[in-house]
Amino acid sequence: MPNPTVVGFSGNFTRPSKTRGFVDQVVRDIARQHGLSASTYDIEDLGPSLGSAKWARDLDGQARAIFDSVVNADVLVVGSPTYKGSYTGLFKHFFDLFDPASLRGKPVVLLATGGNDRHALIVEHQLRPLFGFFEALTLPTGIYATDKDFSDGVLRAEPILKRVEQVVGEVGLVLANRSAAGVVAG
């Protein structure tokens, strides 16, 4: 059996990005704590085929490999910058290409970033319903971070770091329960 994986996907399309860095930090913390293989992607990694894709089969090889990585992940960490009160359009378009059953039961960590506290409910009002549609197992702790929580693009705010620790622990509980029950995610 291959090593279980944690895959991060960020809805940003610029680099460098606080959102991608945040997603990658959580992915690395989960991987380190629970012995998982890790990878992180963003919209930029998908390349130009995403914009014209109506179905997953329309993605080019590189984008399809990322799509398959997300579908086959044992744990998924998703994050988006806040854009006009929601996740980015290309983030949503990417997930529109997924079969509704493809993420059923998959543990998903929800993250978002924004310029200020004004959009703090994006996790609960935008991301959680999106992954609820897929019947994914969204973990209880969602995390929203603002510009003031970062220094030189790196998450530094102690309250947010404590929430990251909390969600990493939640991932461990889910993985332990699945292992005990003999369930394989994805």
Going residue by residue through the chain, which has 186 residues, state the pLDDT in tens, using 9 for 90 and above.
467 899 999 999 888 899 999 999 999 999 999 999 999 999 999 999 999 999 999 999 999 999 999 999 999 999 999 988 899 999 999 999 999 999 999 999 999 999 888 889 999 999 999 999 999 999 999 999 999 999 988 899 999 999 999 999 999 999 988 877 775 544
CA distance 100 to 161: 32
CA distance 130 to 108: 11
The tokens for 102 are: 């493809």
C-alpha closest to that of 10 among 125, 106, 88: 88
The tokens for 154 are: 């790196």
What radius of gyration do the chain's Cα atoms show? Answer: 15
Q: Just give the CATH number of 5-181.
A: 3.40.50.360
Domain residues of the chain, as ranges?
5-181
CA distance 107 to 80: 17
State the pTM of this model: 0.94
- Around Cβ 69, how many Cβ atoms within 10 Å? 15
CA distance 87 to 159: 23
Question: Taking the chain, what is the end-to-end CA distance rounded to the nearest angstrom?
Answer: 14
The tokens for 128 are: 């959680």
Longest CA span, the chain? 45
C-alpha closest to that of 171 among 134, 141, 143, 135: 141
